[in-house]
Structures are given as structure tokens and as C-alpha cells.
């Protein structure tokens, strides 16, 4: 086996093979196929030119130009040459002419320059064909925007600090925003004022109220004055016997706590059931009451309540009543304590048949008839 180290491709010894540097392998020659003579003559470099740069002056001809290239072969001329000319000398067409272009477009003169599809203004006036045309900086074609560029995404939003102190917005823009905010605030204030004014017109139509009369005096003997004096002396009596309950009214007639009422009000509590009686005063206090006497013939009864210093009603004389006198009825009709009704004396000494319940028969007494509203509970 032969060893290639230390030798060059041409067989000469490598001076670096025996030095300190490691041996290097040289590239092998490329396998180049043979070149066609016709292509070599058409596309190859001229004789004596080994690079793509301009040849030295030693390779130029006697007239200072490169040696001429021999004419192409028939096959190359048919493939890459111009088309055959028409009888009038114009080309019949070519790769650089659009279809349908006439021969007049290729003739010289103003007419051919105007009809030339490639140079409408004439090929002689085209700056791209004139080597002496000066270089002029021109803007890019169109408006400079990339037609293929899509919509740009929104940039990051600015904070208030960046707007005010980051110098990201022009002062004029900030001033404009301030003026706009003031205008919006003023408009909102005007609308609010107008709304408040319109709303106040609904509740205050501007009507003139007449002067009010002074409070009416309540002279002694009036209904309100009598009711205010007598109401503390009127009590409501609640009678409970087993699962049944009833109510009535009475009036305090003695400072010791004696209350005058009707016999039929307390009769259920004095029977075999032995019910309970409670007295309810106008101030809301509630105390127990006991029956101390009853007269079924006159339907009157007296109960006693343990109250110290109660308000006592003054008792008048029925014999002094006359038909037409004013009458005030105070009691607890249907359990409604403190009810006041008014009327007149309709008749005196009126015989009345008592209710058999709680009484000793069909007793008839002389009663005072009145038109004041009296209902069960304030009889």
C-alpha cells in the first residue's frame, strides 16, 4: 500500500510534511467533462483570458479591443438568433415584441417612436437607454407602502403617568383633551340643572297658598275638651271565661278604684265558671278587677281595681236632662278603646226591654234615648 502523506499531487515533496504541522490532504482534481467546441466558441472566454475581470492590456488587439468572437454555428443561430426579416427589411416578430405589433413600430422616426409598445416616448429619449443620463434620486413607486403588508396590530396602551410625564403625547393634545373635558363637564352641569329645574316644577307648580287661620280654640264644654278630661276615667273591661272572652266599658266613679259598668258585661265572670276580669286604662296600663256588686234589674255593676289615685269622672243627674241636649258617648265599641261619638238626647224615660242573658227576666227601666253611635262594648 502506498502512502500519500508528504507528497503533493504533482509528486513533489511537501515541505510541511516533515515539520511540526500535521500533514494535510490536498483536494483531488475535479472530473470535468469535455466541452462542446461550438458552446466553447460561443460562451467560453477568449483565448488568453483566465478570469472574469478585464484582461490585461497585453491581451488586447492592435486596435485596443478584445479579439472578435467567431460567428455562431447554425444550430445556435436558429435557437438564439433574431427571427427572419420580412421582404421590406423589418423583423417578422420576436420574443421581445408583443403579439400583433406591426413592423411600423420598429421603424425610425416620430411615428415609430409613438407606436413603439416598449418606449411610447421614443427609445432615444428613454433615460435607461441613454448612458449620459444623470443620476436622480426618485421616490419609490407608488405611495411607499408594502401592498403585501397586512393591518398593523394596536400598540401598547399608554398609562396616565406616561401620558402626563412620559412625554408621549404633545402638549397641544393634552390641552385639547383638557378643554374637551371642561366642555363635557359644563354640558353635564347644564343638563343636570335643567333636569332639576324641570323636576322641581312638577312638585312646586307655583300655586299661591292662602293664609291659614289660627288654631281653633277649644272652649270649656266642647267635645274635644270634655273628651280630654273624661278619657282617663274610662276603662275597657276584658272578661275571660274558659275559652270565651268578651269586652265592655266602664267609668271610674271613686278614688278608691271603684268602676261603674253594666251587669251583662261582668255577669259571665260571676257565674259558675268563675272567669277573670281585667281593666285596661287609656295610658295602656292593665290591672285585674273584681266584682263588688251587681244589680240585674237595672243592668248595673261595680268592680274594683287596685289603682292609686285614678282619674274620677263627675256623675251628673239624669233628671236635669232635656230632649235636644248634647250627648258624648265614650267607650270601647268592638274592643276599640278610646272611641268618642256625639249626638243629642232623643228622649228621656224611655222604657227598654233588657236582654234576657245575664238579667233576671224581662225587666223594663226608664232609659235615656240618644242618637250617638253606641255599639257592643261601650253601652
Catalytic residues: 264, 299, 379
Most distant pair of Cα atoms in the chain: their distance = 176
Q: Helix or strand or coil: residue 72?
A: coil
**In the block, residue with C-alpha cell 289603682:** 307
Alpha-carbon distances, residue 300 vs 249, 333, 347 (angstroms): 12, 18, 21
Report whether 363 contacts 296 (CB < 8 A). Answer: yes
Measure the CA–CA gap between 300 and 358, rounded to whole angstroms: 11
Chain mean position to CA 14: 90
Handedness of CA 190, 192, 198, 204 (dihedral sign): negative
Residues 6+ apart with CB under 8 A from 217: none
Chain mean position to CA 181: 21
Cell of 214: 289660627
Amino acid at each position: 500500500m502506498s502512502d500519500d502523506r508528504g507528497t503533493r499531487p504533482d509528486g513533489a515533496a511537501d515541505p510541511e510534511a516533515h515539520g511540526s504541522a500535521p500533514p494535510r490532504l490536498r483536494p483531488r482534481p475535479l472530473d470535468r467533462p469535455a466541452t462542446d467546441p461550438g458552446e466553447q466558441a460561443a460562451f467560453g472566454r477568449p483565448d488568453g483570458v483566465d478570469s472574469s475581470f478585464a484582461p490585461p492590456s497585453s491581451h488586447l488587439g492592435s486596435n485596443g479591443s478584445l479579439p472578435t468572437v467567431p460567428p455562431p454555428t447554425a444550430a445556435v443561430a436558429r435557437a438564439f438568433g433574431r427571427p427572419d426579416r420580412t421582404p421590406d427589411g423589418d423583423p417578422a416578430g420576436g420574443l421581445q415584441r408583443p403579439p400583433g405589433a406591426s413592423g411600423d413600430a420598429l421603424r425610425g422616426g416620430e411615428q415609430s417612436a409613438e407606436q413603439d409598445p416598449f418606449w411610447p416616448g421614443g427609445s432615444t429619449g428613454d433615460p435607461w437607454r441613454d448612458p449620459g443620463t444623470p443620476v436622480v434620486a426618485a421616490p419609490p413607486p407608488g405611495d411607499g407602502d408594502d401592498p403585501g403588508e397586512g393591518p398593523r396590530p394596536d400598540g401598547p396602551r399608554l398609562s396616565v403617568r406616561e401620558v402626563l410625564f412620559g412625554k408621549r403625547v404633545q402638549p397641544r393634545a393634552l390641552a385639547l383633551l383638557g378643554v374637551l373635558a371642561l366642555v363635557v363637564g359644563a354640558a353635564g352641569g347644564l343638563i343636570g340643572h335643567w333636569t332639576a329645574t324641570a323636576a322641581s316644577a312638577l312638585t312646586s307648580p307655583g300655586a299661591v297658598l292662602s293664609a291659614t287661620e289660627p288654631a281653633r280654640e277649644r272652649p270649656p264644654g266642647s267635645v274635644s275638651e270634655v273628651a280630654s278630661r273624661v278619657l282617663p276615667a274610662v276603662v275597657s273591661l276584658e272578661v275571660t271565661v274558659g275559652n270565651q272572652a268578651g269586652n265592655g266599658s266602664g267609668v271610674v266613679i271613686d278614688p278608691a278604684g271603684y268602676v261603674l259598668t253594666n251587669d251583662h258585661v261582668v255577669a259571665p265572670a260571676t257565674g259558675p265558671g268563675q272567669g277573670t276580669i281585667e281593666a285596661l286604662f287609656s295610658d295602656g296600663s292593665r290591672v285585674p278587677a273584681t266584682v263588688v256588686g251587681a244589680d240585674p234589674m237595672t243592668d248595673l255593676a261595680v268592680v274594683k281595681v287596685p289603682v292609686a289615685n285614678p282619674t274620677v269622672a263627675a256623675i251628673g243627674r239624669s233628671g236635669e236632662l232635656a230632649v235636644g241636649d248634647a250627648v258624648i258617648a265614650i267607650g270601647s265599641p268592638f274592643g276599640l278603646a278610646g272611641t268618642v261619638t256625639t249626638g243629642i238626647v232623643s228622649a228621656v224615660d224611655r222604657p227598654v226591654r233588657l236582654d234576657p242573658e245575664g238579667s233576671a227576666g224581662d225587666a223594663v227601666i226608664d232609659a235615656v234615648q240618644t242618637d250617638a253611635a253606641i255599639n257592643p262594648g261601650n253601652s
